[in-house]
Amino acid sequence: MILSATDQMKLNSFWQYCLQHQYFNISYPESADFDYSQLERFLRFSINNCGDWSEPGNYLLNTFAFEREVMSHFAGLYRIAVQDSWGYVTNGGTEGNMFACYLARELFPNGTLYYSRDSHYSVMKIARLLKMRSQVVASLPSGEIDCNDLLQRIAANRGSAPIIFANIGTTLRGAVDDIADIRQRLALAGFARDDYYLHADAALSGMILPFVGSPQPHTFADGIDSISVSGHKMIGSPIPCGIVLARRRHVERISVEVDYIAARDRTISGSRNGHSPLILWAGLRSRTHEQWCRRVQHCLHMAEYAVSRLRQAGIAAWRHANSVTVVFPRPSEPLVQAFGLAASGHEAHLIAMPHHREPAAFDPLFDALIADRREQLQPIQVYAV
């Protein structure tokens, strides 16, 4: 590749920019402590995982063998037998959620998708793309789905099968919808297990809950039908990616035979980036289960430190159990802009990630928040005219 001197300077300038801002994401859940230099040599190849990784195809440069191991690993994490599950490496959480909604729609063509106000913004987009009936359900003040409102809406649409989009860690508050309560209420309302579909959007918490002592229900053993998890969050990746995993009997309904690749395709995107399975495989294989537990506990301890420090300063910070998301009142707009905070309404948050090694990583934000609060609490100065 030959670039002009001007173009080289542009790349060099962007390189310096990336070095300067690689740890900016105090409010976004991307791990930045990865090193995949061992995989750089594979960037010279056009690796395409088109079709189903569980079957041979005629495109030879693929990473199916690695993808198979990745999906087997996640089947173990989310407590479903490999032979009873199928999923694949996606471009991120939105694709995983779309795949699950697509499965549910094929299973229940006249079903209604229910999702809470705290669900990721992409759910509304997915419902429109798939032309699914959908209803927005109220959320509790802490961010969980309001099960009373959910069941009332389901009862009002009794002729339409419920397709429930459950959050396992909401984007803004880290709230986990109570899957056990949802299932119990559906049973009391007369729904058999095969009368509804339950998807778990576990973009961030999907790589937290398997490594804590008392996780909230989130696995196939707890009654879910599918789960979507991001790979560039707790695992860490230079490329946005993720996985979706579902019950195999549901996936069989959407398989398509493709003659020119000599394989079946069950995915949303067809041709898929073959480098992401390599990245996830290396990220998963580089740590033992015990090391993953320590990694998660470090983030939880950092989050608890953040809550404690802010509360000591009189700032009403809080977090959910097993959550690395710390919620606090929205500060002034200049501070939001200065720290790139994710803010919505009257709230903002920080997210404790593995690359936040020491409490000092948060101190500049804390100092600014405390000063900002003091300034906002100052009495209004009235001048005589």
- pLDDT tens-digit series, residues 325-339: 999 999 999 999 999
Dihedral sign computed on CA atoms, order 243, 246, 249, 251: negative
> Which candidate, 281, 261, 283, places its Cα nearest to that of 49?
261
Which is the catalytic residue, given 205, 269, 323, 332? Answer: 323
For Cα atoms 112, 51, 48, give the angle at the middle one, nearest 5 degrees: 120
- Kindly give the pairing relationship between strand 197-201 and strand 226-230: parallel
Q: What is the pLDDT of residue 259?
A: 43
Amino acid at 362: F
Q: Are 309 and 264 in contact (CB under 8 A)?
A: no
| Per-residue pLDDT at 159 exceeds 80 | yes
- The CA distances from residue 47 to 61, 91, 217, 257, in Å, are 5, 15, 37, 21
pLDDT at 379: 43
Residue 375 has pLDDT above 80, yes or no: no
* Residue 177's pLDDT band (cuts 50, 70, 90): very high
CA distance 183 to 178: 9
- DSSP, res 266: -
- This prediction has a pTM of 0.93
Q: Is the pLDDT of residue 262 over 60?
A: no
- Interatomic CA distance for residues 205 and 209, integer angstroms: 6
Q: Is 308 a catalytic residue?
A: no
Instruction: Report DSSP letters for 90-122, one per residue.
Output: ESSHHHHHHHHHHHHHHH-TT-EEEEETTS-TH
- How many C-beta neighbours within 10 Å does residue 381 have? 5
51 — pLDDT class (breaks 50, 70, 90): confident
Instruction: Please give the backbone phi and psi of residue 164, each rounded to the nearest 5 degrees, phi first.
Output: -105, 125
Q: Across the chain, what does the average pLDDT equal?
A: 92
**Are 165 and 127 a contacting pair, CB within 8 Å?**
no
110-154 residue pLDDT tens: 999 999 999 999 999 999 999 999 999 999 999 999 999 999 999
Q: In whole angstroms, what is the distance from residue 231 CA to residue 196 CA?
A: 28
Tell me the helices (H) and strands (E) count for the chain, helix number first.
Answer: 11, 12
Dist. CA 341–CA 349, nearest whole Å = 7
78-88 pLDDT, tens digit each: 999 999 999 99
Residue 365 or residue 380, greater confidence:
365
C-alpha span between 111 and 132 (Å, rounded): 8
What are the structure tokens assigned to 2, written together? 């030959």
Please state, as a whole number, how many other Cβ atoms lie within 10 Å of the Cβ of residue 55.
Answer: 12
- pLDDT band with cut points at 50, 70 and 90 for residue 383: very low
Q: Assign residue 51 a region: left if phi > 0, alpha if psi is -120 to 50, beta otherwise?
A: left
Structural domains of the chain, ranges and CATH numbers in brackets: 5-30+288-375 (3.90.1150.10), 37-285 (3.40.640.10)
- pLDDT category of residue 256 using cuts at 50, 70 and 90: low
What number is the average pLDDT over the span 177-194?
97
Q: Could you tell me which residue, 356 or 378, shows the higher pLDDT?
A: 356
Which residue, 52, 55, 62, 58, is CA-closest to 87?
A: 52
Q: What share of the chain is helix, strand, coil (3-state, %, to 5)?
A: 45, 15, 40
pLDDT surpassing 50 at residue 198: yes
